[in-house]
């Protein structure tokens, strides 16, 4: 019994040390190169490496060389079994003002190996509250939106893309 406890203790220590000493900034710069292939560029950010996660502050996002958003704070937590990306205070470019409100308060994206075929996301902003689920195996994106009064009043054309259910909430589904 003591040998099993020692084995589990050493294994747990090894896993924690592995995540603690992982070069998170290097992984971020590698991911940044992969995003660049898809014409997404993150710039002007301050990269702060913490023991178990990475923080980015004051990030400007460009898509196709057009400034698309500014982000106050991003936290990337990569633990292997449970991974999250948290984003706060996103201000979208005025180019999309006719489609959605420009301020997004927070976004959280989660992925876990306990449910390896789904990526779950939550967002809250001037548009309301959005829950998203992307199924990796059958490539289906499902959105569930509790639209704010501002969204219902000023962005009806966007809401027409959604299906309104009996409770007044909006749903959208797309297969890629």
State how far the Cα of 141 lies from the Cα of 99, in Å rounded to an integer: 19
Each residue's pLDDT tens digit, 109-157: 999 999 999 999 999 999 999 999 999 999 999 999 999 999 999 999 9
Q: Of all residues in the chain, what percent carry a pLDDT higher than 90? A: 84
- pLDDT (average), residues 32-57: 94
The phi and psi torsions of 116 (rounded to 5 degrees) equal -70, -10
Type and span of the H or E element at 116: none
* Contact call for residues 171 and 163 (beta carbons, < 8 A): yes
- The predicted model scores a pTM of 0.87
Question: Count of residues for the chain?
Answer: 176
State how far the Cα of 93 lies from the Cα of 66, in Å rounded to an integer: 9
117: its two tokens:
């075929």
């Amino acid at each position: 019994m003591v040998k099993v406890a020692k084995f589990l203790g050493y294994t747990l220590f090894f896993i924690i040390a592995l995540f603690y000493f992982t070069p998170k900034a290097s992984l971020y710069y590698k991911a940044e190169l992969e995003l660049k292939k898809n014409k997404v560029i993150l710039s002007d950010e301050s990269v702060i490496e913490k023991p178990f996660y990475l923080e980015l502050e004051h990030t400007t996002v460009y898509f196709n060389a057009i400034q698309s958003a500014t982000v106050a704070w991003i936290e990337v937590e990569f633990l292997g079994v449970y991974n999250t990306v948290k984003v706060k205070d996103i201000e979208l470019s005025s180019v999309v003002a006719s489609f959605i409100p420009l301020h997004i308060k927070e976004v959280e994206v989660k992925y876990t190996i306990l449910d390896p075929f789904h990526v779950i996301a939550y967002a809250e902003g001037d548009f309301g509250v959005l829950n998203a689920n992307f199924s990796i195996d059958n490539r289906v994106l499902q959105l569930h939106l509790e639209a704010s009064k501002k969204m219902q009043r000023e962005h009806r054309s966007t809401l027409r893309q959604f299906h309104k259910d009996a409770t007044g909430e909006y749903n959208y589904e797309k297969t890629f």
